Amino acid sequence: MKRLLSICFALFLFAQVSWAEEPHKYSALIEESRDAVVLVATESESGQGGFGSGFLITDDGIVVTNYHVIHRNTNILIWFYDEDDPRHYPATVLAIDPVSDIALLQIEVKPRLLPLEFLDIEGDKEEIRVGDAIISIGHFLGLDWTVTRGYISHINRPNRISPYISLIQHDAAINRGNSGGPVINTEGNVVGVNTYAFLSKNEHMGAAYALRGDILDEIVEELIEKGEVVRPGLGLKLLQLNEFSRARLIKEHVGQTFPNTFGLLAVEVVLDSWAYKQGLRTFDSIIAVNGIPVNGLDDLTDEVKDLSVGDVINLIIIRDSVFMELTYELKVLEFDYMKFYDDRVAKQKRGSGNDGIR
C-alpha cells in the first residue's frame, strides 16, 4: 500500500512539474505559429459576408481553409497577425475539395510583401496520437487570433460526407470563426484543420472535429499538382446492416427477405444507373470485396480507397438468400457539394443545427 501511495505521489509531483513547464512551452509555440494563421473574410455577390480562419503553408502565398468558409463567396480578403500592420490582402480560390471541406487560396500579392512564416503539415499518421496535447489558433466568435488548448481524444472519426475522410476529435474549445484554423501539436506541426464542433446554444460541448493531418497532406499535394482530388466510388447508396437496421427494414418492407445482420445493403438501385449496369439490384447486400469480409462501411473503404477510377473489384453479395459473385467497375465518386453546403448554410440560418462552425 505504501509503495502504491509513493508511486501516486511521484506521479502527482511529475504532473505538477509538467503543467508548470507547459505555459512557457506553449507561449513559444504560439509565438512561432500565429504569424502563419490568417483571418479569412468573405463577401458574396449579394453583399453578405462571413469570416473564418486559415493558415499559410508555402512561402509563395498558398493558404489552407475550409471550403464552407468560402462557399458561394466572390470577394476574399486575408489578414495576417501583425499589430503594427493591419493591411489586408486579396485572395483567389486556387483549388477546392468539398468532400474533405478543404479549399486552397492564393494570396494575390508578391511573396516578398507577405509575412513568410508558414506551417508544416504532419504527414505521418503514426505521429498523430490519442492523448497528444494540441492548441488551436483561430478567430473564435470573431475575436482575433484566439488560442485554445486541449487533447486529441480520437484519430479516426468518420466524416459526414465521405468514408474516405477521417477526422481527429479533440476537446480544445471551438466556436464559430475557428473553421479552417489549424490544430497544432507541440512540435509546431499541423495535425488537423478544424471543420466543425458540436455546439449547444452556441456553447462548446468538448467535441471538436478536424481533418486529420496525414490526409490533409495528401489532399493539399494533389490539389497543388492536379487542381482536384478524384476518388473512386461504387455509385450507389449503401446502408449499414445490423440488428437494428434489419428490424427496421423488415417492418418497412413487408415480405422482403433480409437474411443477414452484417455487410452493406444496396438501396435505391434504379434502372440504368451505374450500379444497375454493374449487376447490383436494390436490397442486395455486399458481404465481401476482393475476398475480404465486409462488416461495415470502413471495411469497404479500406479496400477501395487506394484504387483508381476504372479498376475492377470482385463483390460477394447476398440476393434473396442466395450467394452471388459480381465483378464491379469503380466510377468517379460524385458529390453534389453545392446543394450540400447550401443546405448546411440554410440550416445554420434557421438555427436548427448544432454542429456547424464558421
CB of 65 within 8 A of CB of 40? yes
Cα 148 to chain centroid distance, Å, stands at 19
Within the chain, residue ranges assigned H as helices are 2-33, 67-70, 213-226, 243-252, 274-277, 297-304, 337-350
Q: What is the pLDDT of residue 102?
A: 97
pLDDT in tens, 135-162: 999 998 778 889 999 999 999 888 877 7
Catalytic residue among 33, 35, 53, 68: 68
List, in sequence order, every beta strand (DSSP E) within the chain. 37-43, 49-56, 62-66, 75-80, 88-97, 102-107, 133-138, 146-158, 166-170, 182-185, 190-200, 203-212, 232-233, 237-240, 264-267, 285-289, 292-293, 312-319, 322-329, 331-332
d(CA 255, CA 169): 42
d(CA 145, CA 91): 19
68 counts as catalytic: yes
Catalytic residue among 35, 101, 132, 217: 101
Catalytic residue among 100, 136, 166, 179: 179
Grid-cell match 455546439, residue found? 199
CB of 300 within 8 A of CB of 164? no
Q: What is the pLDDT of residue 8?
A: 47
Q: What is the pLDDT of residue 127?
A: 94
Residue 291, helix vs strand vs coil: coil
pLDDT in tens, 185-228: 999 999 999 998 876 665 666 789 999 999 999 999 999 999 99
Picking from 116, 63, 68, 69, the residue whose alpha carbon sits closest to that of residue 91 is 63
Picking from 116, 112, 61, the residue whose alpha carbon sits closest to that of residue 90 is 61
- Phi, psi dihedral angles at 330 (to 5 degrees): -80, 145
pLDDT in tens, 232-261: 999 998 999 999 998 999 889 988 889 888
Which amino acid is located at 103 in the chain?
A
d(CA 57, CA 309): 29
Q: What is the DSSP letter of 257?
A: -
d(CA 236, CA 60): 41
CB of 179 within 8 A of CB of 195? yes
Pick out the chain residues at pLDDT < 50. Answer: 4-5, 7-20, 357-358
CB of 285 within 8 A of CB of 271? no
Picking from 159, 179, 206, the residue whose alpha carbon sits closest to that of residue 356 is 179
